[in-house]
Structure 1
Amino acid sequence: MITLPDRMAYARKTKLELQDVLELILQDEIDRREQKNLTMRLKRASFTEEQTFEGFDWDAPVTFDRQRVRDLFSLGFLERHEDALFMGPAGVGKTFLASALGHAACRAGRHVLFLRADQLLKQLRQARADHSHEKTLRRFLAPDLLIIDDFGLRRLDSIQSSDMYEVIIERHRRTSTILTSNRTVEEWISLFDDPILAQSAMDRLAHNAHQVVIEGQSYRIRLRPGGESLKN
């Protein structure tokens, strides 16, 4: 980090005018505050790993609509309060891309929250027991971008179905949500305890979402030691 003595030494060496020195010092302070705010946003987002657009291997042997995904990284979908669904088998990069979008949103000054579907549902269930359900629900409704990872691993009971329905309905067209799943949207309805709730939630979510289906070799295997050899 550039310090004030560094700037003063640079100013003497380059014989800068006072106004130019002050502008440099002011910009340094702006940059410092922006970096501090970004660090706080990333911490609040609770990412399991720091994954970015720049870190994704675009040559990985997986098939998906690359142009659609690159368009998502422009973050226009956040402005329009649209959603995104990443679907495909385990290890193909769904969570990586979802997290990278969240990281990009943090860099753009957005409030992001990342958590697994089972964590979200567990927290909401616990909140019912201690009478903090409304407060906990608001925590999931507040972010500009909510990323729910690994949705659909298990069938939902009646309480989980109700909670998931409420999160989806309340966020619909107000904020943006990203879901990752190893199931297709058509399979999601059968996961809910109540088919009416399921149909209502899925209709809203699917019709407002950019759907990205990823197929191919496990991206996760390529990231382990020695995985690079799988390129050939």
Structure 2
Amino acid sequence: MKLLDQIKNYADILRLTKMKNEPEAVLHQAQIDKPSYQEFALQLLQREVQHRKKTDLDRRMKLARLPKDHNLDKYDFNMANGMTVPQLKQLRELLWMEQNYNLILMGPSGTGKTYVAAGLINDAVKSGHKAYFITMEELITVLKMKEM
């Protein structure tokens, strides 16, 4: 068995996905950079940790089922019934989550409640939390199906 196949095999056993899928690239970069053994080991572990963080974030974002547009950096503060900059900034700090408070967004139609909710879920997922986006209509449908 070739050395590269053994590396892939051991990486697979240890669930080092990044190393298993791209050993050639990792080894090629090491040949160019010529790191010490400690630096090389550190780089391997850093790549794996970064890869795991990224795949975990991608998985949590997919499970959150967010609508396409949910970037609170683009929130229009000029709306008459909208939030102020300090209010939104405070909500985005997610202290309400850490203190186990519920958050209810109320207001007339078209004021951005769904947009803000999706944006806050996006911020929560990016900070490491698990979340699930569901509209009131979807919730009612689910509850009706459970009653049947």
1:112 aligns with 2:131: yes
1:21 aligns with 2:40: yes
Distance 2:69 2:126 in 1: 12
User: Counterpart of 1:102?
Assistant: 121
Tell me if structure 2 keeps the 8 A contact 1:44–1:113: yes
Distance 1:84 1:99, change over 3 A: same
What displacement does 1:50 show? 4.7
Q: TM-score, normalised by structure 1?
A: 0.49
User: Counterpart of 1:6?
Assistant: 25
User: Counterpart of 1:121?
Assistant: 140
Tell me if structure 1 keeps the 8 A contact 2:69–2:115: no
User: Counterpart of 2:89?
Assistant: 70
Local SS of the residue matching 1:98: helix
User: Counterpart of 1:216?
Assistant: none
Tell me if structure 2 keeps the 8 A contact 1:7–1:21: no
What displacement does 1:83 show? 2.1
Distance 2:122 2:46 in 1: 24
1:44 aligns with 2:63: yes
Distance 1:57 1:118 in 2: 24
Q: TM-score, normalised by structure 2?
A: 0.73
Local SS of the residue matching 1:7: helix
> Which structure features the higher share of helix residues?
2
Aligned residues: 127
Unaligned runs of 5+ in 2: 1-17
Letter in 2 for 1:88: G
Distance 1:34 1:94 in 2: 30
How big is each residue's C-alpha offset from its partner over 1:105-155, in whole Å with a ceiling of 9 and x where there is no partner?
A: 1112212111111211221121121xxxxxxxxxxxxxxxxxxxxxxxxxx
Unaligned runs of 5+ in 1: 130-232
Distance 1:9 1:53, change over 3 A: farther
What does 1:145-224 correspond to in 2, within 5 Å? none
Letter in 2 for 1:70: K
- Percentage of pairs with the same residue: 22
> Who wins on radius of gyration, i.e. which is larger?
2
User: Counterpart of 2:106?
Assistant: 87
Tell me if structure 2 keeps the 8 A contact 1:51–1:100: yes
Of the candidates 61, 69, 89, which is equivalent to residue 78 of structure 2?
Answer: 61
